[in-house]
Amino acid sequence: MKNIILLFIFSFTLATILPAQIEKGDVLIKNGTVITITDGVKENSDVLIRDGIIRRIGKNISVEGIHTIDATGQFVMPGIIDAHSHIGIDVVNEGTDPNTSDVFVGDAINPFAISIYRALAGGVTASHAMHGSANAVGGQCETIKHRFGSIDPEDMKMAGAPRTIKFALGENPMRVHGEGRRIVPRTRMGVEQIFREGFAKAQDYMAEWDRYNTDPDGAKEPPKFDMKMETMADILRGEIIIHCHSYRADEILMLLDVLEDYGVSKICFQHVNEGFKVAPELAAFGASASVFADWWAYKFEVYYSTAYNAAILTRNNVVTSINSDSGELIRHLYHEAAKTQRYGDLSDNEALRLITLNPAIQLGIDDRVGSLEIGKDGDIAIFSKHPLSIYAVPQVTIVDGVVRFDINGDTEDMRMDVDPEAKISTFVDHSYSEEDRCMQGLFEFFIDRK
Amino acid sequence: MNRIIYCIAFLLICTVGISQDVPQVTNKIYLKNVTLHSQPGQEAILGSILIEDGIIAAVGNNVFIPFDAKIIEGDSMHAYAGFIAPLSYIGLEKPKESNEAPKVKRSGYPPNDVAGITPERSVANAYKKDEKTIANFRKEGFTIAHSVPYGGMMPGKGSVISLNGKDYHEAVLSKDQSMFATWKTARRVFPATLIGIMSKWRELYRNAELSHHHAQAYKSNPQNKKRPSPDAATSALFAVLEKKMPVFFVAEKHRDVARTLQLQKELNFDLVISEARDIDRILDRTKKSNARVLLSLDLPKAEKEDKKKGKEEKKETEVKEAEPAEQTAQAETNEAPPETSKAEPEKKMEKEEDEKSKQLKERKKAAIARYVGQAKTLRSSDVPVSFSYLETKAKDVHTNLRRMVKDGLSEDDALAALTTEAADVLNISETAGTLESGKIGNVVLSTKSIFDDEAKIKYVVIDGQIHEYEIKEKKKKSGEEGEEPVDISGSWSYTIEVPGMTSSGTMTFTKNGDSYDVELTNSQMPDETVSVSDIDMNGNVASFSYSPPVGGMNITLDNELTFDGDTFEGTVDVGDFGSFEITGQKDNPE
């Protein structure tokens, strides 16, 4: 019996860990201002990538017959990482239950999504494709690399990146389930109970399986295999990082209490607009925070906010990042990072860490990306000016040593997939679009409220 | 005496109209002097076929004629093995789709049937021998079909049936041969999304494995063990995990195929990718999975170039006529501006716009060509090809197949897709797919090669039973395809899908000689009515243009509507604004 379980787990992991051959490239970037994040800024320096990995950083590197980019007068930085986005996936919300830990947006990747290319055009090389915030426990998320041009959805996944899951506090789950369906959670207390119930049941589930596995061929019928409980159990085992949509300080502390009760430690709070009120508590717990630069007041629970949030959190030793949560903001995260210099006087390196190494830490991929170091992935963004300058324009974006965006090869129609049945129209649709958003796909739930 | 004549006349009508219902006197049929295409890849020869007791007794150029055989003069008609549809809804009534939210206690935990999970269902219980799809497909030469139930993510088990139009037990070749699966989500209950479907598959499959394991253990030694109690869905999946039952999984687009392959890789079931329309970019993974492929015959419509060109020219002249009027209007309101300075940037913009829409059209054309070329591409990579017929109407089968052949699919490969490959997918190659003695007596006789545009199917023999079809002479007057003009008079409600809004109203058609007059209203301008008289009617396609009264702007809407019973669909072309989808339905259908 154990064999079957092992086989199942093995085939599952094998399927996720060994995707098709990922394209890796060789490239030499010459003579740029190299912003390493972890080892200062190096003027007039070169970066050599071979087989998708950074091999050398220094002066006067010369290699015969390699694709060479002249970055004279330009700025070379690690590819930007967005710890919260919804681009490149066909489904954001499975809004049918307050706990849908069983679903997995990695199953819904759309390699043709033009938003991936647009993100590349903003220097972003990796993003955290997240489930939406309709449910207290949403789905499992996927860390994707922006290998735009690849055709197999599996090739977008950053193989080996830790598993992550979306949690959501406050108004969104209350609205979808409480208001929309008249079920728990209708209040913040209800949201808390969804977590407690999920973890408590998962403990029972684990115990039940442990009892069964002592004698799998014995008298007992095997317990029901439950995808939700499997995922909740994996959170308890520390195998999944929680990324929690949150705004208010009280509910942030509430979740920390819940996690403490169940011995869960890996948590990154998303949005966390009132994070500045509980920064020391977050730091003490070891929780990190991924925030907007200056986006607030779009609903009641987001009124108490400040653009100093990122700076206050940083000064209190909370690992902080700035995210987009939007197919539009993701194109200029470097502007968003620069705002922390106006509001909070962060240094250049501190500001850039918010969109490079820190999000990488939050996603558990900082050993591979987020800074320019030998041995790390060749994910690089090249800017015309210092990336924190309002005049900076992204020039070239490289993923695994492969040039995926070049401003000189940027034609009008970069689509990878053309629908042979769509009507051709040059008519621009300016109506509201909910694409690439947190509450995508939920409209239907609000129409029918009998 | 009169009565006898009536009786004879009545009998005659019966034989012509519903020949299959009249039992044949003899059990031997001799198809004399036909062009034999006994199987793909073999050269056609002149010969004859003898069918005895529903089985092919002999094929060739020297076949003995038994004295009591019914002889059908082949007159060099082309004979093929009866066609096989390896996946279809043939023989099933299409259920009405309901828009109502299902009433369940908790939308995250709906009962299986509400969620679309009914693997225990068998198509045997849904089969209707009088269903019109049986006759429609038979008319196009189909003799055997694998039919699967309608439903959600896991609708149930399919059967292979003969299209002889008889009761299930006489029609069935193989009961519950397959499991059917789709990416169709449930409405407002789990799984409402494709990620829900993926998760549900994993959970159902895993539970079936556990349950199966326990059932086996119980079987080998039931003492001291709890009696296994799998539910209907779980035990229905046992045959799938024992690999006794392949999963026919509908996967139309590239991403559907990728997701289906992902599930198959994790769970390891026998897979037939079905209804594929866009699979050529994921062939390596498809090959690695050992999955069979059934392509959809539902091809995107070709761009009608000639017609469009004509329209554009027409528009240009209209614009030219309109220009002077505009200029005078300008001259009245303003001091006449220097013409060049104003016109140039506008012209430049127009030119850019034209260039853009030209590029978009080119890409669309390429995409259509790629879709039409799927079968060809798969064959060039040595992937066997057959078709599925879930979304294809019987009458479109040969038209679309010919389009693929014109595009470069070899006739042998096309015929194989209809016969041998289809039989192979269903595991019935021993008894069907070729004209060889010992196989089921299923034969198609066509006036010309089936890949010829003029070909008409005259006889379809199923299980030795002859179905004869009248070949209509082309009518000169009506549409290109020789279709009867349809009666569209009456009031119709239409909806135009414009991004960000929908426009709706009514069209009232009244007969005017051979053509129609139409009166249009629109809900946004309730007081205005537009009339167009003497519209173009071509078979079931109506085309007409009109300019709605929109604040002095000169906009022309070119409508092209295809009528089908009580509904129509089509396009409205609004010049530079693009072209939009229009649908409509009759207000008081009979």
Condensed to tens digits (0 to 9), the pLDDT of residues A190-232 reads: 999 999 999 999 999 999 999 999 987 777 889 999 999 999 9
Domain contains A395: no
Quick one: which of B173, B178, B176 has its CA closest to B463? Answer: B173
Q: Which residue of A has its CA nearest to B100?
A: A448
* 3-class SS of residue A58: strand
Token representation of residue A263: 């011995």
Contact at CB, A94 and B196, closer than 8 angstroms: yes
As a whole number, mean pLDDT of residues B482-503 equals: 75
Token representation of residue A104: 């997995």
Quick one: which of A442, A435, A441 has its CA closest to A87? Answer: A435
B126 falls in which pLDDT band (50, 70, 90)?
very high
Q: Which residue of A has its CA nearest to B198?
A: A107
- Model pLDDT, residue A320: 98
- Model pLDDT, residue A450: 31
As a whole number, mean pLDDT of residues B264-287 equals: 97
Q: What is the pTM of this model?
A: 0.84
Residues B237 and B205: beta-carbon distance below 8 Å = yes
Using an 8 Å CB-CB cutoff, list chain B residues near A96. 107-108, 188-192, 196
In chain A, what percentage of residues exceed pLDDT 90? 86
Domain contains A58: no
Distance in angstroms (rounded) separating the CA atoms of residues A39 and A47:
14
Nearest C-alpha of chain A: how many angstroms from B564? Answer: 20
Domain contains A123: yes
A144/B553: higher pLDDT: A144
Say whether pLDDT at B552 is over 80: no
* 3-class SS of residue A372: coil
In chain B, what percentage of residues exceed pLDDT 90? 62
Nearest C-alpha of chain B: how many angstroms from A154? Answer: 8
Say whether pLDDT at B393 is over 50: yes
Nearest C-alpha of chain B: how many angstroms from A411? Answer: 12
Contact at CB, A431 and B499, closer than 8 angstroms: yes
Residues 6+ apart with CB under 8 A from B142: B82, B83, B84, B85, B90, B163, B394, B460
Q: What is the pLDDT of residues B211-261, one digit of tens each?
A: 999 999 999 999 988 899 999 999 999 999 999 999 999 999 999 999 999
Using an 8 Å CB-CB cutoff, list chain A residues near B501. 431
Q: What contacts 24+ positions apart, CB below 8 Å, involve B276-280?
A: B276/B251, B276/B252, B276/B374, B277/B252, B277/B253, B277/B371, B277/B374, B278/B252, B278/B253, B278/B254, B278/B370, B278/B371, B278/B374, B279/B251, B279/B254, B279/B374, B279/B378, B280/B370, B280/B373, B280/B374, B280/B377, B280/B378
Helix boundaries (H) for A58-187: 114-120, 171-173, 180-181
As a whole number, mean pLDDT of residues A274-301 equals: 97
Using an 8 Å CB-CB cutoff, list chain B residues near A135. none
As a whole number, mean pLDDT of residues A91-119 equals: 97
Say whether pLDDT at A430 is over 80: no
- Model pLDDT, residue A238: 98
Peptide bond into B499 cis (omega under 30): no
Residue A10: other Cβ atoms inside 10 A: 11
Distance in angstroms (rounded) separating the CA atoms of residues B353 and A249:
52
Interface test with B, best of A93, A140, A225, A432 (most B CBs within 10 A): A225
- Model pLDDT, residue B309: 45
Say whether pLDDT at B472 is over 60: yes
**B315-343 in b/e burial notation, b at 16+ Cβ within 10 A?**
beeeeeeeeeeeeeeeeeeeeeeeeeeee
Distance in angstroms (rounded) separating the CA atoms of residues B378 and B408:
12
Distance in angstroms (rounded) separating the CA atoms of residues B297 and A223:
45
Token representation of residue B105: 């206690």
Say whether pLDDT at B36 is over 80: yes
Nearest C-alpha of chain A: how many angstroms from B540? Answer: 21
Quick one: which of B294, B289, B298 has its CA closest to B158? Answer: B294
CATH number, domain containing residue A330: 3.20.20.140
Question: Residue B508: what are its φ and ψ, rounded to 5°?
Answer: -115, 115
Q: Which residue has the tokens 């196989």?
A: B439
Say whether pLDDT at B428 is over 90: yes
**Distance from CA of residue A216 to its chain's centroid?**
39
Domain edges within chain B: 2-81+433-468, 86-96+104-296, 490-586
Question: Residue B291: what are its φ and ψ, rounded to 5°?
Answer: -75, 145
Pick the CATH number of B490-586 from 3.10.129.10, 2.40.128.120, 1.10.569.10, 3.40.1440.10: 2.40.128.120
B502/B443: higher pLDDT: B443
Using an 8 Å CB-CB cutoff, list chain B residues near A98. 108
Residues B295 and B378: beta-carbon distance below 8 Å = yes
A259 falls in which pLDDT band (50, 70, 90)?
very high
Residue A245, H or E segment:
strand A240-246
Contact at CB, A90 and B217, closer than 8 angstroms: no
Quick one: which of B208, B156, B202 has its CA closest to B178? Answer: B156
Residue B523: other Cβ atoms inside 10 A: 12
Q: Which residue of B has its CA nearest to A11?
A: B266
Q: What is the CATH number of domain B2-81+433-468?
A: 2.30.40.10
Contact at CB, A152 and B285, closer than 8 angstroms: yes
- Model pLDDT, residue B474: 55
Question: What's the Rg (C-alpha) of chain A?
Answer: 23
Residues A323 and A290: beta-carbon distance below 8 Å = yes
Contact at CB, A96 and B188, closer than 8 angstroms: yes
B526 falls in which pLDDT band (50, 70, 90)?
confident
Token representation of residue B129: 């021998």
Contact at CB, B192 and A183, closer than 8 angstroms: no
As a whole number, mean pLDDT of residues B191-215 equals: 96
Nearest C-alpha of chain A: how many angstroms from B499? Answer: 6
Contact at CB, B363 and A413, closer than 8 angstroms: yes
Distance in angstroms (rounded) separating the CA atoms of residues A50 and A400:
9
Highest mean pLDDT among A5-19, A429-443, B307-321: A429-443
Question: Residue A274: what are its φ and ψ, rounded to 5°?
Answer: -95, 20
Nearest C-alpha of chain B: how many angstroms from A211? Answer: 15
- Model pLDDT, residue A103: 98
A434 falls in which pLDDT band (50, 70, 90)?
low
Q: Which residue of B has its CA nearest to A445?
A: B188
Class of domain B86-96+104-296: alpha beta
Q: Which of A1, A152, A424 sits opposite B360 (nearest CB)?
A: A424
Contact at CB, A107 and B225, closer than 8 angstroms: no
Q: Which of A91, A98, A429 sits opposite B194 (nearest CB)?
A: A91
Helix boundaries (H) for B155-193: 168-171
Say whether pLDDT at B585 is over 50: yes
Domain residues for A129?
79-370
CA atoms within 13 A on the CB side of A160: 7
B521 falls in which pLDDT band (50, 70, 90)?
confident
Nearest C-alpha of chain B: how many angstroms from A258? Answer: 24
Domain contains A272: yes
B4 falls in which pLDDT band (50, 70, 90)?
low
Nearest C-alpha of chain A: how many angstroms from B155? Answer: 21
Domain contains A396: no
As a whole number, mean pLDDT of residues B491-502 equals: 78
Interface test with A, best of B112, B114, B190, B195 (most A CBs within 10 A): B195
- Model pLDDT, residue B164: 96
Contact at CB, B188 and A422, closer than 8 angstroms: no
Domain contains A48: no
Q: Which of A100, A218, A424 sits opposite B357 (nearest CB)?
A: A424
Residues A51 and A24: beta-carbon distance below 8 Å = yes
Q: Which residue of B has its CA nearest to A225?
A: B207
In chain A, what percentage of residues exceed pLDDT 70? 90
Nearest C-alpha of chain B: how many angstroms from A253? Answer: 28
Using an 8 Å CB-CB cutoff, list chain A residues near B193. 91, 93-94, 103, 108, 441
Residues A336 and A309: beta-carbon distance below 8 Å = no
Residues B468 and B19: beta-carbon distance below 8 Å = yes
Interface test with B, best of A17, A86, A107 (most B CBs within 10 A): A107
- Model pLDDT, residue B330: 40
Fill in the DSSP letter of residue A175: I
Using an 8 Å CB-CB cutoff, list chain B residues near A218. 225
Using an 8 Å CB-CB cutoff, list chain A residues near B192. 94-96
Q: How far apart are the first and last CA of chain A?
A: 48
Using an 8 Å CB-CB cutoff, list chain B residues near A103. 193, 195-196, 198-199
Q: Positive or negative, the Cα torsion across B532, B535, B541, B546?
A: negative
Interface test with B, best of A94, A197, A445 (most B CBs within 10 A): A94
ipTM: 0.93
Helix boundaries (H) for A74-187: 114-120, 171-173, 180-181
Residues 6+ apart with CB under 8 A from A358: A288, A319, A320, A321, A370
Nearest C-alpha of chain B: how many angstroms from A220? Answer: 6
Contact at CB, A426 and B578, closer than 8 angstroms: yes
Using an 8 Å CB-CB cutoff, list chain B residues near A109. 255
Q: Considering its fold, how many domains does chain A have in total? A: 1
* 3-class SS of residue A377: strand
- Model pLDDT, residue A78: 98
Q: Positive or negative, the Cα torsion across A56, A60, A64, A68?
A: positive
Contact at CB, A96 and B207, closer than 8 angstroms: no
As a whole number, mean pLDDT of residues A88-100 equals: 96
Nearest C-alpha of chain A: how many angstroms from B207? Answer: 6
- Model pLDDT, residue A30: 98
CB contacts < 8 A (A, B): 168
- Model pLDDT, residue B498: 72
Q: What is the pLDDT of residues B78-101, one digit of tens each?
A: 999 999 999 999 999 999 877 777
CA angle B500, A119, A26 (to 5 degrees): 145
Say whether pLDDT at B551 is over 60: no
B515 falls in which pLDDT band (50, 70, 90)?
confident
- Model pLDDT, residue A364: 98
Q: What is the pLDDT of residues B448-471, one digit of tens each?
A: 999 999 999 999 999 999 999 988
Residue A337, H or E segment:
helix A333-342
Amino acid identity, position A16: T
- Model pLDDT, residue B500: 62
Fill in the DSSP letter of residue B126: T
Residues 6+ apart with CB under 8 A from B225: A218, A219, B214, B217, B218
As a whole number, mean pLDDT of residues B525-554 equals: 77
Contact at CB, B203 and A226, closer than 8 angstroms: yes
Q: Which residue of A has its CA nearest to B253?
A: A419
Q: What is the pLDDT of residues B110-125, one digit of tens each?
A: 999 999 999 999 999 9
Contact at CB, A103 and B576, closer than 8 angstroms: no
Least-confidence region, from A199-203, A371-375, B333-337, B555-559: B333-337
CA dihedral B184, B188, B194, B195 (to 10 degrees): -150
Residues 6+ apart with CB under 8 A from B96: none
Q: Which residue has the tokens 């004859």?
A: B48
Distance in angstroms (rounded) separating the CA atoms of residues B427 and A272:
59
Say whether pLDDT at B16 is over 80: no
Peptide bond into B485 cis (omega under 30): no
A15 falls in which pLDDT band (50, 70, 90)?
very low
A444 falls in which pLDDT band (50, 70, 90)?
low
B484/B284: higher pLDDT: B284
Quick one: which of B141, B20, B144 has its CA closest to B78? Answer: B141
Contact at CB, A420 and B370, closer than 8 angstroms: yes
B491/B313: higher pLDDT: B491
In angstroms, the Cα distances linking B483 to A228, B474, B480, B586 are 56, 8, 7, 21
Residues A42 and A420: beta-carbon distance below 8 Å = no
- Model pLDDT, residue A426: 65
Q: What is the mean pLDDT of chain B?
A: 86
Quick one: which of A241, A243, A235 has its CA closest to A203? Answer: A235
